[in-house]
Chains A and B, each alone.
Chain A
Amino acid sequence: MNKLSPADLEKMQKAPNGAPKDWIKVGMGSCGIAAGAEEVYNFFAEEVKKRNLQIDIKKCGCAGSCYAEPLVEVSVSGLPSVVYGTVNKEIATKILEKHVISKMLVNDCIFEVLI
């Protein structure tokens, strides 16, 4: 990596070109990890590969709703971004099959608060 100049910094703050990609973001703060976020993250990563889905699996920190960890935010074109809470493998499967593939929202798992 090169040392940045002020101009470099400015450049990096401009939005990239091209259509926004779909992504799944897993909350990986201590609270998330303690609640099983690592397992969920790995599950997504493996399944996406296995099913050959065009979606990024990303990590982020704690959004604050620690009671509902692991939290997973899903952004898929055509649907509003939503945050799923208390996600386990079962819910994660639903997220992939229903939300990502069938473009539906998963019932009873969305935590709308705080975010």
Chain B
Amino acid sequence: MYNKVILIKDTDLKRQDKTRDFYTHLLDYLRENNLHSEILLVRVADIGVYDKGLVLKMLPDRNTYINVQDTDIKRIVDSILQGKIIEELVFRPKVKQHRIVLRNCGNIDPENIDEYIFSGGYAGLKKVLGELGQQKLIEEIKISGIRGRGGAGYPTWMKWNFAREVESDQKFVICNADEGDPGAYMDRSVLESDPHSVIEGLIIAAFAIGASKGYFYIRAEYPLAVERINKAIKQAYAYGLLGNNILGSSFNLDLEIRLGAGAFVCGEETALISSIEGKRGYPHPRPPYPSVKGLWGKPTVINNVETLANIPAIISKGGKWFAQIGTQTSKGTKVFAVTGKVKNSGLVEIAMGATLREIVMDICGGTLSGKPVKAVQTGGPSGGVIPESLLDTPVDYENLQKLGSIMGSGGMIVMDEDDCMVDIPKFYLGFCVEESCGKCSPCRIGGFQMLGYLKRISEGQGKPEDLAQMRRLSVAMQKASLCGLGQTASNPVVSTLKYFEPEYNEHILNKRCPAGKCSHLVTYSIVGDKCKRCGLCVINCPPKAISGDKEKGFSIAPEKCVKCGRCVDVCKFKAISKD
């Protein structure tokens, strides 16, 4: 039996991994001092701290020491034995994950309602039905300051209150689980890992407005989420948490799942309503807002998965507790799906106000390649690209908007210097052009024309006057499009034009792609003095564009080269240049 455990990991990226060496040295020291049966050493694959040299973490007290040297061994072991902390070495991270939405994710069995209840589940609902009542419930949500996590950040209590105030024989609550941003999967994860928290949030929302029917609108591409929500709904019915007289009260609610066919625009609430009604997923003008006239013309509240998952926690711990987390205007936490060129891709939940740099560098460990971060894209195809120089911006709704991006649903894509700032908006805009419902002309044709400019620029056909045309187009799209999709589709273009105009000009004027991404503008060649004439590239070149022999050396025939990049990948000597 060990009382103490030391976790060891070398986090220095610039040198060879010294974890094993240090492990041996430390183990030797423990053996010499006959402590090896008392203190357990273990090399770990990841220690949650990055680029801080050798890192040690002590269990059970969880002290973390960074930049540890061999010479520190003695005092570290001593301090453990004495139960002291070495202040010069200790590392106290500025930012930590703060799990509210993800509180149960990875802890409980999502298919077992008892585990959810055991971890405090449905206590919020009990409180709402028992003590709070409609008015106080909405008041509590108002105090919490929570805003919609679907992207627009509309205060949740206001949505509920509007719907509550409208008199109607029937009202609806819909959980918007039509997560569609490329790279974003927070909602899927919550639905799969903690379905009851969302269901509980939805029941509370239904009670707040007096709805008797709820829907989960989940995209059919999320089969596991659908399966788990389905099971969870059945369990909730069996426990009397859905159906008639919930928890013995007079409140009734029925809940069912509607599958979306995967159109991006159906995440827009008016299009989502059309879809549930069985119509083509076309957005409709607002007002009237769904909270007044929504599904089947009845007052309807539509909340995002993450918003609903927050609700039980807010009720259980109180609006005041929630309101002290986050920034002045944006309360609570936000879950981000961090992907792209990042080391630790995954879900991160932080209190609002953490900076982008903290998220990307401290929590997610920087880039996988070790190359510097060039930019971070937030908000999916509706968001913008934020350059490295602005990564110290604290994350909240207003700040991201000021930078030309949006919070969005929580996609965060990290880019390094191999990402081209013409190619990135081309990708996002291509997505929106593909997903535009086609109803209104500014989005339908504007997006298509804009994409044409980007394609031509990336192919070396751009003209200097194109940038002005693109700016004109983006204004028309922003101002004249009917729904959020069209209004924000140009954001990736606008933000890259704002922060990376020189890169556009490089493409247009010099027909060069600095990131080496736009294949039309890249020429591959073999650097003579680096080439060791191994011939690996010759064998691997699909169109056989590389010729020569080991005597004279090799060269790439540009007219045959299809710019696939295979030679770069296989060359062990970095002898292929892209320019």
| Chain A directly contacts chain B within the complex, with at least one CB pair under 8 Å | yes
**B441 an interface residue at 8 Å Cβ cutoff?**
no
Q: Does A90 contact B (CB under 8 A)?
A: no
Q: Find residues 1-45 in chain A having any chain B CB closer than 8 Å to their own CB.
A: 1-6, 9-10, 12-13, 27, 29-31, 33
Residue B133 interfacial (CB < 8 Å): no
The answer to whether the Cβ of A55 comes within 8 Å of any Cβ in the partner chain is no
Q: When the two chains form their complex, are residues B117 and A12 in contact, meaning their CB atoms are under 8 A apart?
A: yes
Q: In whole angstroms, what is the CA distance A89 to B44 when docked? A: 18
Q: Are A12 and B114 in contact, CB atoms less than 8 angstroms apart?
A: yes
Instruction: Annotate A57-99 by CB proximity to B: 1 below 8 A, 0 otherwise.
Output: 0111111111110010100001110000110000000000000
Query: Taking CB as reference atom, which chain A residue is nearest B8?
Result: A107
Q: Are B193 and A62 in contact (CB under 8 A)?
A: yes
User: Across the interface, do B193 and A113 meet the contact criterion of CB distance under 8 Å?
Assistant: no
B240 touches A4 (CB 8 A): yes
Residue A48 is within 8 A (CB to CB) of chain B in the complex: no
Residues on B with beta carbons closer than 8 Å to the beta carbon of A5? 247-248
Q: Contact partner of A108 among B43, B59, B192, CB < 8 A?
A: B43
Chain B residue contacts of A2, Cβ below 8 A? 239-240
Contact across chains for B1 and A78 when beta carbons are under 8 A apart: yes
Query: What residues of B have a CB within 8 angstroms of the CB of A30 in the complex?
Result: 185, 188-189, 192, 222, 224-225
Interface centre among A6, A12, A64, A68 (most CB of B within 10 A): A64
**Contact indicator B43/A80 (Cβ below 8 Å):** no
**Which of B44, B194, B239, B363 sits near A61, CB closer than 8 Å?**
B194
Q: Is the C-beta of B60 less than 8 angstroms from some C-beta in chain A?
A: yes
Which bracket fits the contact residues of B? 35 or more
| Interface core residue of A62, A73, A80, A111 (most chain B CB under 10 Å) | A62
B residues 312-364 in Cβ contact with A at 8 Å:
343-349, 363
Asked if B181 is at the interface of the complex by the 8 Å CB criterion, the answer is: no
Q: Point out the residues of chain A lying under 8 angstroms from B344, CB to CB.
A: 65, 67-68, 113-114
Interface 1/0s, chain B 59-71, versus A by CB < 8 A? 1100000000000
> Are A111 and B46 neighbours in the complex by a CB distance under 8 Å?
yes
Q: Is A103 an interface residue (CB 8 A)?
A: yes
State A58–B106 Cα separation when bound (angstroms): 11
Complex alpha-carbon distance, A67 and B185, angstroms:
13
B193–A61 contact, CB under 8 A? yes
Name the contact of A110 in the complex, choosing from B1, B42, B224, B365 (C-beta under 8 A). B42
Q: Are A62 and B45 in contact (CB under 8 A)?
A: no
Distance in angstroms between the alpha carbons of A82 and B222 in the assembled complex: 29
Whether A86 lies near B45 (C-beta < 8 A) is: yes
Instruction: Spell out B's residues near A (CB within 8 Å).
Output: 1-2, 5, 7, 23, 40, 42-48, 57, 59-60, 97, 102, 104-111, 114, 117-118, 120, 122-123, 126, 129-130, 185, 188-189, 192-194, 222, 224-225, 235, 238-241, 245, 247-248, 343-349, 363, 365
A-side interface residues toward B, CB under 8 Å?
A: 1-6, 9-10, 12-13, 27, 29-31, 33, 58-68, 71, 73, 78-80, 85-86, 103-115
Known: A1-B239, A105-B40. 14 other contacts (CB 8 A): A4-B240, A9-B122, A9-B247, A13-B120, A30-B225, A31-B189, A59-B109, A60-B105, A61-B189, A62-B192, A78-B2, A79-B2, A112-B57, A114-B363
Q: List 23 A-B contacts (CB under 8 A).
A: A3-B239, A4-B239, A6-B248, A13-B118, A30-B188, A30-B224, A60-B105, A60-B106, A60-B107, A61-B105, A62-B105, A66-B345, A66-B347, A67-B346, A68-B45, A68-B346, A80-B5, A108-B43, A109-B45, A110-B42, A110-B45, A112-B46, A113-B365
